[in-house]
Amino acid sequence: MQFLKNNMLADKSISEIARAFRDKEFSSEDLVKECLANIEKYNPQINAFITKIDKDIVLSEARQKDRQGFAGKSLLFGIPYVLKDSYVTRGIMTTAASNVLKNYLPQYDATVYCKLKETGAILLGKMNMDAWGHGGSSENTDFSPVHNPWDLTRVAGGSSGGPAAAIAARMCLFAIGEDTGGSIRNPAAWCNITGLKVSYGRVSRYGCIAYASSFDTVGPMAKSAEDCAIILETIAGHDMYDGTSSKNEVPRYSQKLATPIKNVTVGMPEEFFQKGLDREIKKAIETAVEKLQKLGVKSKVISLPMIEYGIPVYYLIGPSETSSNLARYDGIRYGETRSNFTGETMRRIMIGTYALSAGYYDAYYKKAQKARTLFIREYEKALNECDVILMPVNPTPPTKIGELINDPVQNLLADIYTVSQNPVGVPSLAIPCGFTKSGLPIGMQLVGKMFAEEKLLQVGYAYQQMNSWHNQKPKLTP
Amino acid sequence: MKVAVIKIVTSSIIKHIAQLANLDLSDEELKSMSPQFSSILNLVSKIKKLDTTNVSETSQVTGQENVFREDEVDSKRILTQEEALSNAKNKHNGYFVVDAIFEE
């Protein structure tokens, strides 16, 4: 049996690789070749990709970068990455994992893709996901479910399951995911990688296929907080093509990672550690808090009593916005007809249409928007009592394939810890913090004030300096 | 999260909503949609218990208002007619073909 090799180039951090490129220890071509080999060996079992960019194109791009040289270039120059298939890429098939777009060739590029192209990162493929972002397991896809690299009988999480699984299996160095209610954090936790849901408006959404426009965020997924910092400073910033993107200055996140965190106060919301949370996950997070305390972090118990309304608020506003966003798919200008939506997507469109319809608007949509205001106040209050809120990402370890998709209500409840941040807009960093006895990854999330990504990345970085959970990788056999 | 079961949404409401959503559901799909729709509606109906007296609505969290741009043509974002039509299945003389809305 041949396991995923121990010392792979793709195990290294982005800054280590950039240094090795400059010192000519190995080339971008070497790294891309290794990723392509891993894709060939492991993707058939994992199904992380929907579209793979032609090998020859990718390799010639890598050779071109090597020829150009790395002096004075971005750390991402020559680094292979993937995009969730929710970003439009000119001339490259873009599906949002739905048969509605199975033959769609976009005529323009998403801003995040443009920025990464300009910086010299190399796109390897477009990744599997829950169609339109509708799901937390990457089973609601018309391209077969994504399998978790840590246990192929289980889901990778969702909706950005393909990107997370590809990083875990070393098929790429990083990915761009999209988080509307946990879609970056949930698969990050279940695949043992690091993922950042950014503050609403931090990264341009232009060219990101919309799920729920007032919740959607574009963010990095990688092995570590350090890598996420490097990616974020590249992709963040105002974009005239996205009126909701922020004009706030983009900090040099990677430069201040090593700032001591000894005066940071971490709040643990008691409601998030009660019934419904898996015992092993609870234990792992408590152990992580003890580790953080050794770095001088203070922890305190706080209260977020509205958590029980998180699911109703999210599953009223999200579907309402998606029913409107998906109204454009009529099969006339592009795409197939509406009968190609999956059952899960049709349910979300239907719930949203109901909540917005005459006679129910006040009781559901308007009521949820009022509750959204209360959520914002609640998070504001909590984040005045502490710098960072620490909480679980998922209530359970990764589920068996088939478990969630066949139970529409359970499928929604799996997002319980991640849906309340998006209506508020606050950022959240998901990082690995251990494994269950049976070897399944466990993650935790650090939530901060609006635009406090820098603080979250510092805490995540400090934690990852004294723990190696994020460096663990799955045992895969070709 | 347990909530009291409220009434099952009738199939006539489901049909009406499907029509508003421009979804052409088969009889079979309508039948399976009804209980699923009802159980999700029960789940989200919990929100009715929340006191929101004197609370205003939030529709976005950008912290910005009235984002304008100059009313100028951005040539970088213009598609040629050929590009605009490149994904359409049904076209005629450089136009999209759509179903007639009015009868003759």
Q: Which CATH number is A250's domain given?
A: 3.90.1300.10
Q: Which of B36, B61, B96 sits opposite A347 (nearest CB)?
A: B36
Report if residue B11 sits inside a domain: yes
Report the catalytic residues of A.
84, 159, 183
Chain B residues lying within 8 Å of A349, measured CB to CB = 21, 23
Q: Which helix (H) or strand (E) holds A152?
A: strand A151-155
Q: How many domains does one find in chain A?
A: 1
Report if residue A55 sits inside a domain: yes
Contact B14, B30 (CB under 8 A): yes
CATH code of the domain in which B45 resides? 1.10.20
Check CB contact under 8 Å for A103 and B87: yes
Rounded CA-CA distance A19/B56 in Å is 52
Report if residue B100 sits inside a domain: no
Size of interface A-B (CB pairs under 8 A): 157
Contact B86, A107 (CB under 8 A): yes
Report if residue B78 sits inside a domain: no
Report if residue B76 sits inside a domain: no
- Host domain of residue B28: 1-49
The shortest C-alpha distance from A392 to chain B (Å) reads: 17
Q: What is the mean pLDDT of residues A451-458?
A: 98
Please report, for residues A4, A168, A297, A412, A459, the alpha-carbon distance to residue A472 in angstroms, rounded to integers and kept in the order given.
11, 9, 25, 29, 20
Report if residue A441 sits inside a domain: yes
Rounded CA-CA distance A88/A31 in Å is 26
The CA-to-CA distance between both ends of chain A, in Å, stands at: 9
Residue A428 pLDDT exceeds 50: yes
Report if residue A78 sits inside a domain: yes
Report if residue A3 sits inside a domain: no
Q: Which of A334, A339, A351 sits opposite B24 (nearest CB)?
A: A339
Rounded CA-CA distance A17/A171 in Å is 15
Check CB contact under 8 Å for A369 and B58: yes
**With an 8 Å Cβ cutoff, is A407 touching chain B?**
no
Q: How many domains does one find in chain B?
A: 1
- Host domain of residue A328: 9-471
Point out which residues pair with A447 in neighbouring strands.
A389, A428
Report if residue A282 sits inside a domain: yes
Rounded CA-CA distance A133/A325 in Å is 12
Tens of pLDDT along A351-408? 999 999 999 999 999 999 999 999 999 999 999 999 999 999 999 999 999 998 888 8
Chain A residues lying within 8 Å of B83, measured CB to CB = 107
Tens of pLDDT along A14-70? 999 999 999 999 999 999 999 999 999 999 999 999 999 999 999 999 999 999 999
Report if residue B18 sits inside a domain: yes
Residue A104, Cα to own-chain centre: how many angstroms? 24
Check CB contact under 8 Å for A246 and B64: yes
Bridge pairing between strands A122-127 and A80-84: parallel
Give residue A107's identity as a one-letter amino acid code: Q
Report if residue A4 sits inside a domain: no
Contact A221, A177 (CB under 8 A): yes
Report if residue A1 sits inside a domain: no
Whether ipTM exceeds 0.95: no
**With an 8 Å Cβ cutoff, is A330 touching chain B?**
yes
Report if residue B35 sits inside a domain: yes
Tens of pLDDT along A131-144? 999 999 999 999 99
Residue A256 DSSP symbol? G
The shortest C-alpha distance from B23 to chain A (Å) reads: 6
**With an 8 Å Cβ cutoff, is A144 touching chain B?**
no
In terms of residues, how long is chain A? 478
pTM for this one?
A: 0.96
**A412 contact partners, CB below 8 Å, separation of at least 6:** A311, A315, B40, B43
The shortest C-alpha distance from B102 to chain A (Å) reads: 18
Q: How many CA atoms lie within 13 A of A399 on its CB side?
A: 23
